[in-house]
Copies of this chain bind each other. A is one copy, B any other.
Amino acid sequence: RYLSTEISLGQYPGGAFTTGPDHGGLVPTSDGAGEVVAVGEGVDGCAIGDRVHSLFSEAWVSGPAQEKDWPTTIGSHVQGCLTQYRIFPANFCLPVPEHLSYEQAAAIPCAGITAFNVLFNHGSTTPDSTVLVLGSGGVSVLGAQFAKAAGARVIATTSSPDKASKYKALGVDHVINYRDTPNWADEVKKLTGGLGVDQVFEIGGKGTLMEAIRAIKPGGVVHVISVPPEVATTSINELAMALLLKQGKLNGVLVGGRDVGQRLDSFISKHKITPLVDSKVFEWKGAKEAFGYLQSGAHFGKVVIKVD
Protein backbone atom coordinates (compact mmCIF):
# COMPACT_ATOMS: atom_id res chain seq x y z
CA ARG A 1 0.00 0.00 0.00
CA TYR A 2 0.94 3.66 -0.23
CA LEU A 3 1.49 6.12 2.51
CA SER A 4 2.42 9.57 1.34
CA THR A 5 3.08 12.40 3.67
CA GLU A 6 3.38 16.06 4.14
CA ILE A 7 6.39 17.00 6.20
CA SER A 8 5.48 19.69 8.66
CA LEU A 9 7.87 19.09 11.53
CA GLY A 10 8.54 22.13 13.59
CA GLN A 11 6.21 24.22 11.46
CA TYR A 12 3.26 24.57 13.78
CA PRO A 13 3.28 26.22 17.16
CA GLY A 14 1.71 23.52 19.32
CA GLY A 15 5.19 22.28 20.15
CA ALA A 16 6.76 19.12 18.80
CA PHE A 17 7.27 16.25 21.24
CA THR A 18 10.18 14.81 19.32
CA THR A 19 10.50 11.93 21.75
CA GLY A 20 6.77 11.28 21.77
CA PRO A 21 4.34 10.94 24.65
CA ASP A 22 5.50 7.31 25.12
CA HIS A 23 9.06 8.62 25.65
CA GLY A 24 10.12 6.59 22.65
CA GLY A 25 10.94 7.93 19.21
CA LEU A 26 8.10 9.57 17.34
CA VAL A 27 7.34 8.71 13.72
CA PRO A 28 7.37 12.04 11.85
CA THR A 29 5.04 13.73 9.34
CA SER A 30 1.57 15.06 9.91
CA ASP A 31 -0.25 13.94 6.78
CA GLY A 32 -0.78 10.63 5.04
CA ALA A 33 -2.99 8.73 2.63
CA GLY A 34 -3.28 5.02 2.07
CA GLU A 35 -5.38 1.89 1.81
CA VAL A 36 -7.34 0.36 4.67
CA VAL A 37 -5.88 -3.13 5.34
CA ALA A 38 -7.82 -4.02 8.49
CA VAL A 39 -10.94 -2.78 10.28
CA GLY A 40 -11.69 -3.16 13.99
CA GLU A 41 -14.75 -5.00 15.30
CA GLY A 42 -17.99 -3.02 15.25
CA VAL A 43 -16.58 -0.25 13.05
CA ASP A 44 -19.08 1.12 10.53
CA GLY A 45 -18.51 3.17 7.41
CA CYS A 46 -14.99 1.91 6.72
CA ALA A 47 -14.00 -1.21 4.80
CA ILE A 48 -10.84 -3.04 3.77
CA GLY A 49 -9.61 -1.61 0.49
CA ASP A 50 -10.99 1.89 1.13
CA ARG A 51 -8.71 4.74 0.10
CA VAL A 52 -8.41 7.19 3.01
CA HIS A 53 -6.39 10.20 4.17
CA SER A 54 -5.52 11.41 7.66
CA LEU A 55 -6.57 14.55 9.49
CA PHE A 56 -4.55 16.97 11.62
CA SER A 57 -5.77 15.59 14.94
CA GLU A 58 -7.56 12.42 15.98
CA ALA A 59 -9.95 14.30 18.28
CA TRP A 60 -10.68 17.68 16.65
CA VAL A 61 -14.28 17.51 15.40
CA SER A 62 -15.20 21.13 14.59
CA GLY A 63 -14.71 24.77 15.54
CA PRO A 64 -11.39 26.03 16.91
CA ALA A 65 -9.06 23.42 18.45
CA GLN A 66 -9.70 23.02 22.17
CA GLU A 67 -7.07 21.91 24.68
CA LYS A 68 -8.37 18.33 24.53
CA ASP A 69 -7.58 18.18 20.79
CA TRP A 70 -3.85 18.85 21.12
CA PRO A 71 -2.68 15.50 22.57
CA THR A 72 -3.79 13.69 19.40
CA THR A 73 -1.98 15.91 16.91
CA ILE A 74 -0.50 13.51 14.37
CA GLY A 75 3.26 13.55 13.90
CA SER A 76 4.04 15.75 16.89
CA HIS A 77 1.99 14.47 19.82
CA VAL A 78 1.11 10.99 18.58
CA GLN A 79 2.84 8.86 15.93
CA GLY A 80 2.98 10.40 12.47
CA CYS A 81 2.28 8.91 9.06
CA LEU A 82 5.76 8.06 7.71
CA THR A 83 5.12 4.37 8.27
CA GLN A 84 3.78 1.34 6.37
CA TYR A 85 0.98 0.63 8.83
CA ARG A 86 -0.76 2.85 11.31
CA ILE A 87 -3.97 2.48 13.33
CA PHE A 88 -6.42 5.39 12.96
CA PRO A 89 -9.74 5.97 14.73
CA ALA A 90 -12.27 5.21 11.97
CA ASN A 91 -13.88 8.63 12.43
CA PHE A 92 -10.62 10.45 11.92
CA CYS A 93 -9.66 9.40 8.46
CA LEU A 94 -11.70 10.46 5.45
CA PRO A 95 -12.31 8.92 2.00
CA VAL A 96 -9.89 10.15 -0.66
CA PRO A 97 -11.73 12.13 -3.40
CA GLU A 98 -12.09 9.74 -6.35
CA HIS A 99 -10.05 11.68 -8.90
CA LEU A 100 -6.96 11.90 -6.66
CA SER A 101 -3.97 9.59 -6.36
CA TYR A 102 -2.55 8.77 -2.91
CA GLU A 103 0.28 11.24 -3.51
CA GLN A 104 -2.20 14.01 -4.30
CA ALA A 105 -4.49 13.05 -1.41
CA ALA A 106 -1.56 13.12 1.01
CA ALA A 107 -1.12 16.77 0.12
CA ILE A 108 -4.57 17.60 1.47
CA PRO A 109 -4.83 17.27 5.24
CA CYS A 110 -2.77 19.87 7.05
CA ALA A 111 -2.18 22.53 4.42
CA GLY A 112 -5.44 21.97 2.54
CA ILE A 113 -7.65 22.11 5.61
CA THR A 114 -5.82 25.25 6.77
CA ALA A 115 -6.25 26.97 3.41
CA PHE A 116 -9.92 25.97 3.18
CA ASN A 117 -10.57 27.07 6.78
CA VAL A 118 -9.01 30.46 5.99
CA LEU A 119 -10.99 31.04 2.80
CA PHE A 120 -14.41 29.67 3.68
CA ASN A 121 -14.78 29.71 7.49
CA HIS A 122 -12.68 32.64 8.66
CA GLY A 123 -12.91 34.57 5.43
CA SER A 124 -15.59 35.19 2.89
CA THR A 125 -14.22 34.25 -0.52
CA THR A 126 -16.43 35.30 -3.40
CA PRO A 127 -15.94 35.98 -7.12
CA ASP A 128 -15.70 39.73 -6.39
CA SER A 129 -12.99 39.36 -3.74
CA THR A 130 -9.21 39.40 -3.96
CA VAL A 131 -6.87 37.07 -2.07
CA LEU A 132 -3.14 37.59 -1.57
CA VAL A 133 -0.95 34.56 -0.84
CA LEU A 134 2.64 34.98 0.33
CA GLY A 135 5.38 32.67 -0.89
CA SER A 136 4.83 29.24 -2.37
CA GLY A 137 4.51 26.83 0.54
CA GLY A 138 1.73 24.24 0.66
CA VAL A 139 -0.89 26.44 2.32
CA SER A 140 -0.29 29.31 -0.10
CA VAL A 141 -0.35 27.19 -3.26
CA LEU A 142 -3.45 25.23 -2.17
CA GLY A 143 -5.02 28.51 -1.01
CA ALA A 144 -4.42 29.98 -4.46
CA GLN A 145 -5.96 26.91 -6.10
CA PHE A 146 -9.07 26.96 -3.88
CA ALA A 147 -9.55 30.74 -4.19
CA LYS A 148 -9.34 30.50 -8.00
CA ALA A 149 -11.88 27.62 -7.94
CA ALA A 150 -14.22 29.91 -5.95
CA GLY A 151 -13.84 32.56 -8.66
CA ALA A 152 -11.77 35.03 -6.64
CA ARG A 153 -8.91 37.10 -7.97
CA VAL A 154 -5.56 35.89 -6.63
CA ILE A 155 -2.24 37.70 -6.20
CA ALA A 156 0.85 35.77 -5.10
CA THR A 157 4.38 36.75 -4.02
CA THR A 158 7.48 34.70 -4.72
CA SER A 159 11.17 35.38 -5.28
CA SER A 160 11.58 32.92 -8.14
CA PRO A 161 10.64 33.50 -11.79
CA ASP A 162 10.22 29.74 -12.16
CA LYS A 163 7.71 29.62 -9.30
CA ALA A 164 5.99 32.68 -10.74
CA SER A 165 5.41 30.70 -13.95
CA LYS A 166 4.03 27.80 -11.94
CA TYR A 167 1.65 30.14 -10.15
CA LYS A 168 0.55 31.57 -13.50
CA ALA A 169 -0.06 28.04 -14.79
CA LEU A 170 -2.44 27.52 -11.86
CA GLY A 171 -4.46 30.54 -13.02
CA VAL A 172 -3.10 33.05 -10.49
CA ASP A 173 -3.82 36.56 -11.79
CA HIS A 174 -0.71 38.47 -10.67
CA VAL A 175 2.63 37.41 -9.25
CA ILE A 176 4.91 39.91 -7.48
CA ASN A 177 8.60 39.20 -7.00
CA TYR A 178 9.20 40.22 -3.36
CA ARG A 179 12.98 40.50 -3.89
CA ASP A 180 12.56 43.01 -6.71
CA THR A 181 9.64 44.70 -4.95
CA PRO A 182 10.27 44.63 -1.18
CA ASN A 183 7.41 47.10 -0.58
CA TRP A 184 5.02 44.76 -2.31
CA ALA A 185 1.97 46.25 -0.57
CA ASP A 186 2.31 49.26 -2.90
CA GLU A 187 2.16 46.97 -5.91
CA VAL A 188 -0.83 45.12 -4.41
CA LYS A 189 -2.61 48.45 -4.02
CA LYS A 190 -1.84 49.41 -7.61
CA LEU A 191 -3.35 46.12 -8.76
CA THR A 192 -6.51 46.73 -6.71
CA GLY A 193 -7.34 50.29 -7.72
CA GLY A 194 -5.60 51.76 -4.68
CA LEU A 195 -7.85 49.84 -2.28
CA GLY A 196 -6.01 46.70 -1.16
CA VAL A 197 -7.06 43.05 -0.93
CA ASP A 198 -9.79 41.37 1.13
CA GLN A 199 -7.58 38.64 2.59
CA VAL A 200 -3.90 37.81 3.02
CA PHE A 201 -2.36 34.42 3.79
CA GLU A 202 0.39 35.58 6.20
CA ILE A 203 2.93 32.79 6.34
CA GLY A 204 5.45 34.57 8.54
CA GLY A 205 8.36 35.85 6.50
CA LYS A 206 10.71 38.60 7.65
CA GLY A 207 8.78 41.85 8.01
CA THR A 208 5.75 40.49 6.19
CA LEU A 209 3.19 41.09 8.93
CA MET A 210 3.22 44.90 8.76
CA GLU A 211 3.43 44.79 4.95
CA ALA A 212 0.44 42.42 4.92
CA ILE A 213 -1.58 44.90 7.00
CA ARG A 214 -0.59 47.63 4.52
CA ALA A 215 -1.84 45.41 1.69
CA ILE A 216 -5.41 44.93 2.96
CA LYS A 217 -8.34 47.18 2.19
CA PRO A 218 -10.23 48.91 5.03
CA GLY A 219 -11.94 46.09 6.93
CA GLY A 220 -9.72 43.42 5.35
CA VAL A 221 -8.26 40.34 7.06
CA VAL A 222 -4.67 39.16 7.54
CA HIS A 223 -4.79 35.46 8.36
CA VAL A 224 -1.82 34.66 10.60
CA ILE A 225 -0.96 31.09 9.69
CA SER A 226 2.67 30.91 10.76
CA VAL A 227 5.13 33.14 12.61
CA PRO A 228 8.91 33.39 12.13
CA PRO A 229 11.08 32.90 15.22
CA GLU A 230 13.04 36.11 14.59
CA VAL A 231 12.35 39.23 16.64
CA ALA A 232 10.86 42.03 14.61
CA THR A 233 11.80 45.65 15.21
CA THR A 234 8.20 46.80 15.01
CA SER A 235 6.43 47.17 18.36
CA ILE A 236 3.02 45.66 19.05
CA ASN A 237 1.77 49.21 19.55
CA GLU A 238 2.71 50.11 15.98
CA LEU A 239 1.04 46.94 14.80
CA ALA A 240 -2.14 47.61 16.79
CA MET A 241 -2.23 51.18 15.46
CA ALA A 242 -1.81 50.03 11.85
CA LEU A 243 -4.60 47.51 12.39
CA LEU A 244 -6.87 50.11 13.95
CA LEU A 245 -6.39 52.62 11.12
CA LYS A 246 -7.18 49.90 8.60
CA GLN A 247 -10.07 48.64 10.73
CA GLY A 248 -8.45 45.36 9.82
CA LYS A 249 -8.40 41.94 11.40
CA LEU A 250 -5.50 39.70 12.37
CA ASN A 251 -6.85 36.21 12.45
CA GLY A 252 -4.89 33.30 13.95
CA VAL A 253 -5.67 30.10 12.02
CA LEU A 254 -4.54 26.61 13.04
CA VAL A 255 -5.60 24.01 10.47
CA GLY A 256 -9.18 22.88 11.25
CA GLY A 257 -11.27 19.98 12.47
CA ARG A 258 -12.86 16.97 10.78
CA ASP A 259 -15.84 19.03 9.57
CA VAL A 260 -13.54 21.33 7.60
CA GLY A 261 -11.81 18.26 6.12
CA GLN A 262 -15.16 16.90 4.97
CA ARG A 263 -16.22 20.18 3.39
CA LEU A 264 -12.80 20.49 1.75
CA ASP A 265 -13.05 17.03 0.18
CA SER A 266 -16.52 17.87 -1.23
CA PHE A 267 -15.12 21.11 -2.63
CA ILE A 268 -12.14 19.32 -4.18
CA SER A 269 -14.42 16.69 -5.74
CA LYS A 270 -16.92 19.25 -7.02
CA HIS A 271 -14.28 21.47 -8.63
CA LYS A 272 -12.05 18.55 -9.67
CA ILE A 273 -9.07 20.22 -8.03
CA THR A 274 -5.73 18.43 -8.16
CA PRO A 275 -3.58 19.53 -5.22
CA LEU A 276 -0.23 20.51 -6.62
CA VAL A 277 2.45 18.02 -5.65
CA ASP A 278 6.09 18.99 -6.19
CA SER A 279 7.66 17.29 -9.20
CA LYS A 280 10.10 15.49 -6.88
CA VAL A 281 8.40 12.57 -5.08
CA PHE A 282 10.71 10.78 -2.63
CA GLU A 283 10.97 7.09 -1.67
CA TRP A 284 10.77 6.03 1.98
CA LYS A 285 14.54 5.63 2.10
CA GLY A 286 14.86 9.18 0.80
CA ALA A 287 12.84 10.66 3.68
CA LYS A 288 15.82 12.52 5.15
CA GLU A 289 16.60 13.94 1.73
CA ALA A 290 12.94 14.98 1.44
CA PHE A 291 13.12 16.94 4.70
CA GLY A 292 16.24 18.69 3.45
CA TYR A 293 14.58 19.49 0.13
CA LEU A 294 11.62 21.00 1.98
CA GLN A 295 13.91 23.11 4.14
CA SER A 296 15.85 24.33 1.09
CA GLY A 297 12.68 26.03 -0.17
CA ALA A 298 13.27 24.72 -3.69
CA HIS A 299 9.89 22.97 -3.81
CA PHE A 300 6.62 24.27 -5.26
CA GLY A 301 3.52 22.64 -3.85
CA LYS A 302 3.58 19.75 -1.41
CA VAL A 303 6.60 17.45 -0.94
CA VAL A 304 5.51 13.81 -0.84
CA ILE A 305 7.24 10.66 0.40
CA LYS A 306 5.97 7.40 -1.06
CA VAL A 307 6.03 4.41 1.31
CA ASP A 308 5.95 0.99 -0.36
Chain A positions within 8 Å of B, measured between CB atoms, are 13-14, 63-67, 204, 209-210, 218-219, 224-232, 234-241, 243-254
Contacts and interface: CB of A to CB of B under 8 A. Distances in A.
A248 to B, nearest CB: 5
Contacts of A231: 235, 237
A204 to B, nearest CB: 7
Contacts of A254: 244-245, 247
Contact of A13 (B64, B234, B241): B241
Residue from A225, A229, A251 whose CB has the most chain B CB atoms within 10 Å:
A251
8 contacts: A13-B241, A14-B245, A227-B240, A227-B244, A236-B238, A236-B239, A247-B253, A249-B252
Nearest to A243: B252
Contacts of A224: 240, 243-244
Contacts of A230: 237
Nearest to A254: B247
Given A243-B252, A250-B250, A254-B247, A227 B237 contact: yes
Contacts of A240: 204, 209, 224, 227, 250, 252
Nearest to A246: B252
